[in-house]
A = this chain, B = another copy of it.
Amino acid sequence: MTNTKMTDSVATDFSIWAKEKQDHIEIVLDEALPSQTTAPAILHEAMRYSLLGGGKRVRALLCYAAAELCATNTTITDAAACAVEMIHAYSLVHDDMPCMDNDDLRRGKPSCHKQYDDATALLVGDALQSLAFDLLSTPTLCENANQQISMLNILAKASGSLGMAGGQAIDLASIGKALTQSELETMHKLKTGALIQAAALLGASSGTAEKMSAVIVYAEHIGLAFQVVDDILDVEADTSTLGKTAGKDADSSKPTYVTILGLDHAKQLADQLYETAISALIPFGEDAKRLRELAGFILQRSF
């Protein structure tokens, strides 16, 4: 994962853009959440605890980068980025629960059920999912109501049993089993890929059919690359850098790209996926700049 390294000036420019978007989405998320004094106060406090102040907001960044390609307006993009981050945060809260991955640490803090309790974590996840659809169904969000319905449908499908929740079910069923690379890929396409693709597609929702098709190809490959890198980091990074428990997947006998392919081949695969992803953007030149840079960022992240 070295041949795709950004030059320093590109990296700096991208970092400034990303930081600006990360700060911005934090404010928008904060405003979209009920205050922690609104009843039921514990639930709202726990929702805020789980959603705010953490994470690299990769899905939101994808949404904003795709919006730059497709000139999607800021109000729509903000709502879409928030909704996707809410779905992602809910999935982390539920995944960390004792009956799932039983993880005590998330984004460098006690996970929701450790900070509060299991029942609260369950409700936090449930309510964050509702809030995502609440936000994206805000009346008059889009001038074109049919575009808005299509966005809601994309998010719902990406979240459900044929998307993220389905991938989670396959993941659970695969613990201790020897998966092929193809089976592992199917699982990740649902578990993380579906929502990553939705993030990019929602950002691109004002674009032409040609641009949206390119974004689908880009997002599908970058989504897989993201997971391969995740598996590599699970082996290479330490817990404090990762913000969650390192080595967790290997310890729990979960199949990963590293266990199936070995570390070197996993890195090669990540590079190949990156190349395919950015190839889809060639026709769009500078308009696709942020998507291209974001792909590099995903490949090189060491957080």
Contact = CB atoms under 8 A, between A and B. Distances in A.
Interface of A: 34, 38-40, 42-44, 47, 90-91, 94, 97, 99-100, 117-120, 122-123, 125-127, 129-131, 133-134, 137-139, 141, 145-146, 148-150, 152-153, 155-157, 159-163, 165-166, 168-170, 172-173
Contact of A131 (B120, B127, B161): B161
Given A130-B156, A153-B138, A161-B130, A123 B169 contact: yes
- The complex is assembled from copies of this chain, and their number is 2
Contacts of A34: 161-162
A173 B122 contact: no
A138 B156 CA distance: 10
Given A40-B166, A169-B42, A126 B123 contact: no
Contacts of A155: 133
A125 B90 CA distance: 13
A127 B97 CA distance: 17
Say whether chain A's binding surface is mostly helix, strand, loop, or mixed: helix
Contacts of A39: 166, 170
B117 A99 contact: yes
A141 B134 CA distance: 18
A137 to B, nearest CB: 4
A30 to B, nearest CB: 15
Contacts of A145: 145-146, 148-149
Given A40-B166, A43-B165, A170-B39, A131 B150 contact: no
B131 A156 contact: yes
**Which of A97, A100, A156 is the most central at the interface, judged by chain B CB atoms within 10 Å of its CB?**
A156
Contacts of A129: 126, 129-130
A99 B125 contact: no
Contacts of A166: 39-40, 43, 127
Nearest to A38: B162
Contacts of A43: 161, 165-166, 169
27 contacts: A40-B170, A40-B173, A43-B161, A43-B166, A44-B161, A97-B122, A119-B172, A120-B172, A122-B122, A123-B161, A123-B168, A125-B126, A126-B159, A127-B166, A130-B161, A130-B163, A130-B165, A131-B160, A131-B161, A133-B156, A134-B153, A137-B153, A139-B150, A141-B149, A145-B145, A149-B149, A149-B152
Contacts of A100: 119, 122
A174 to B, nearest CB: 10
A186 to B, nearest CB: 8
A253 to B, nearest CB: 16
A217 to B, nearest CB: 22
Nearest to A141: B149
Nearest to A132: B156
